[in-house]
A and B are shown apart, each in its own frame.
Chain A
């Protein structure tokens, strides 16, 4: 039987670990709250942009009135021979299956689109590492190293995510799409409406379909156990499980750009549309990243909660073992004394 001192040492070490996981849970909860606020903060801009674009569509005759063909290159559909897939994971681990679920979904998407060449852009270190191990890394747009290749990586941007990060990525997507180097852009990310309303989705970013609508190529809901556990942990960390109420916000945004039929256009509507559309792509990418960040913190919070309760279980078990060992040692000592006395 292990000696009491050793067990006591282990208990102390597990207790320290529990302290850390508990702190990490609290930190994740605080970060999650901030991430949720940021995601909400991005909403009015996105909604207003969508609105103004919608009203410009008819003004600028973006669709050919006779054939119904779009006149803007970002709206034009082509057969998907070359696809660009943005995979948004986290930069860090210790978030249970968060990153693994995403890479698994990515593999599923790649399998489904077999026959197309796929360029992967990895956002987040975990996804980058995964794709680096499996697929060739090739930032050279003039070469192809296989049907699936990693063409760009964005590591370390998620921590202090700014709109300009998404803007730059969107710019390069738009350039490649306009030059017909790629035929479609999808983004795979963990959608986050609230802690209990999350999905892994593959959303099409380009070509742009209906403005303001989301087109999903793939979506995977949370399981019931996941949802229940997330709800329990969220409640313990005082985080709302409700989706944020955006009705008032959306109504306010809906008034933007639709107040009058006879605006004076400082620039021709076509030009406005052309300049605004890239921002629409950027805000889609930005939103995906913001939601993924929130989801990552939520996943880490849940993981750290389990780790904390596992540590507690372990401390209980070890304490029991230690008491038994101590008892055994005492009993043994008494027997020794007694038999020593008897021998005299």
Chain B
């Protein structure tokens, strides 16, 4: 029995389909979901979603979201979600460098948390983009 999935952002429906296994970045750590999973609600952090079907795997980068897991279906509301092939690596790298610089030259008024989240997002996007080719 395959596991249906749907990923929705405020802008559009990013992806849907069927998979054998889905990995989602829960707020408290990654969750691997197989068909028949017990109903579950979880917040998502910044991370990578992997939908595996046979030997094919689709990778997506998400930043903050919310997931509903049912035995035959996973629905994800994400604030942003990008498919691996859509990611602009150059932009992600620039964002990473910017965030690193901000953290390195951190001063009192620097918003540390924000810079850290930005860095995390950029790193995930670069990592996910690596699967797109």
Contact = CB atoms under 8 A, between A and B. Distances in A.
Contacts of A262: 39
A12 to B, nearest CB: 45
Interface string B30-42: 0100000011111
Contacts of A163: 9-11, 79-80
Interface in A157-200: 162-164, 166-167
B40 A264 contact: yes
Given A266-B27, A275-B43, A41 B79 contact: no
B8 A45 contact: yes
Nearest to A37: B12
B11 A42 contact: yes
B38 A264 contact: yes
Contact of A162 (B11, B75, B77): B11
Nearest to B28: A266
Contacts of A109: none
Given A260-B39, A267-B27, A41 B75 contact: no
Contacts of B5: none
Contact of B75 (A256, A265, A286): A256
Contact of A49 (B12, B31, B77, B80): B77
Nearest to B65: A279
Given A41-B11, A163-B11, A264 B41 contact: yes
Given A266-B26, A266-B27, A272 B41 contact: yes
Contacts of A45: 8-10, 77
A164 B81 CA distance: 12
Contacts, number: 76
A164 B64 CA distance: 12
Nearest to A59: B41
Interface residues on A, range: 20 to 34
A279 B9 CA distance: 11
A267 B10 contact: no
Interface string B79-96: 110000000000000000
B8 A266 contact: no
Given A49-B77, A163-B11, A267 B70 contact: no
A314 interface: no
Nearest to B39: A260
Contacts of A341: none
A151 interface: no
A41 B13 contact: yes
A279 B58 CA distance: 27
Interface string A307-332: 00000000000000000000000000
A265 B75 CA distance: 15
Contact of A279 (B11, B12, B79): B79
Interface of B: 8-13, 26-28, 31, 38-43, 66, 68, 70, 75, 77, 79-80
**For the complex of A and B, 6 pairs with smallest distance between CB atoms:** A266-B42, A260-B39, A163-B10, A264-B40, A41-B12, A45-B10
20 contacts: A38-B11, A45-B8, A48-B75, A48-B77, A52-B77, A163-B9, A164-B79, A164-B80, A256-B68, A257-B68, A262-B39, A263-B39, A264-B40, A266-B26, A266-B27, A266-B41, A266-B42, A267-B28, A267-B42, A286-B10
